Amino acid sequence: MSSDKPILILAGPTAVGKTEASLLLARDWGAEIVSADSMQIYRGMDIGTAKPSPEQRALVYHHMIDVVDPAQPYSVGDYLRDARNAIDGILKSGGTPIVVGGTGLYIRALMRGLLHGPPADMELRERLLRKESDNGEGTLYADLVRLDPESAIKIHPNDLRRTIRALEVYYIRDRKLSDLQKAHAFHEKTHAFRLLFLVRGRSELYPRIEQRVDQMIALGLEDEVKRLILKGYGSDLISMQAIGYSHFIDYFNNRTSFEETVDLLKRDTKRFAKRQFTWFRREPDARWVDITGLETPGEIVRQIKKTIEIPDNLV
């Protein structure tokens, strides 16, 4: 189902205040929320993923939460299919969807679709790796800058895996990955999205992250992880490698003390937030909304509306 009606995507780093603001905005508009969080899809993983509470979900209907069990594989393609179905269903019923989350890959897939490029060529990848080894770190990235500068801008110079994939596509297809992505995005586009990225200054965001971790501990994150392990969900699962869950698995295996576990969880959550900033800086369509100093959801929503001058047809 295609629609010219703009659909708001409310993104931002962990603990910035997305959940509370999105609830107020959704109630204001009579909207339904479509989650774009790669960990909230798992059932039983509630505290560590900061899922909206049952009370909050009773106020506003949420889609794409509690979709699969932690042991079930769930790809970006699965998310794209299910989230599109949810959005289409909301629109078909005359409702308003708001996409909320911080998983950049999910949001990018929604906005541009998924590019199914050529299959991996292991022989080519080995040759490229040998070239990097023989000529020094950064050789392949320099090649990418020369051959496909648009893709290079979106890839960190230290991200060898994505650099190799972009070069692989170029050599196999004899076309730039950036050109393929542009053509694919135009072909797959089904909705008009408006992407907002909420930001706070580091001096304000980091204490909020620490406070959130302390709250998760108080709510029983340790027991939540323990219950999942007792159900047979092990550290080999992608779900159990999430921030918080992997930390407590290390604690249970006597690799860290409780105090070290909490400190590492706070540190790694801050690092995760930094990666989210980095990802969305590379999103050309993202509009950043500075909410530093704003504490209440009402203040945040007013800043959102003021910043982007939301037109009537958005709701």
Query: What digits encode the pLDDT tens for the residues 70-79?
Result: 999 988 889 9
Please say if the pLDDT value at position 100 is more than 90: yes
Closest-CA residue to 48 (of 247, 250, 282): 247
CA distances from 308 to 10, 15, 95, 282 (A): 12, 22, 21, 20
Determine the CATH number of domain 122-186: 1.10.20.140
Where do the H-state alpha helices sit in 191-257?
Answer: 202-219, 221-230, 245-252
Helix axes 258-281, 245-252, angle to 10 degrees: 160
| Chain segment 183-205, per-residue pLDDT in tens | 555 445 568 899 999 999 999 99
- Which residue did the predictor score with more confidence, 65 or 4? 65
Please say if the pLDDT value at position 237 is more than 80: yes
Helix axes 202-219, 258-281, angle to 10 degrees: 130
Give the mean pLDDT of 13-36. Answer: 95
Whether the full predicted model's pTM is greater than 0.85, yes or no, is no
Check if the beta carbon of residue 197 is closer than 8 Å to that of residue 175.
no
315 pLDDT band, cuts 50/70/90, is very low
Q: Which two tokens stand for residue 98?
A: 């708001």
Where in the chain is CATH 3.40.50.300? 3-113+189-314
Q: Pairing between strand 62-63 and 97-101?
A: unpaired
125 pLDDT band, cuts 50/70/90, is confident
Helix axes 177-188, 160-173, angle to 10 degrees: 80
Which pLDDT belongs to residue 180?
A: 67
Please say if the pLDDT value at position 182 is more than 80: no
Where in the chain is CATH 1.10.20.140? 122-186
Report percent pLDDT > 70 for the chain: 89
Burial of 150 (0-12, 13-18, 19+ CB in 10 A): middle
- 75-78: list long-range contacts, CB under 8 Å, 24+ apart: 76/105, 76/106, 76/109, 76/114, 77/109, 77/114
Homologous superfamily assigned to 3-113+189-314 = P-loop containing nucleotide triphosphate hydrolases (3.40.50.300)
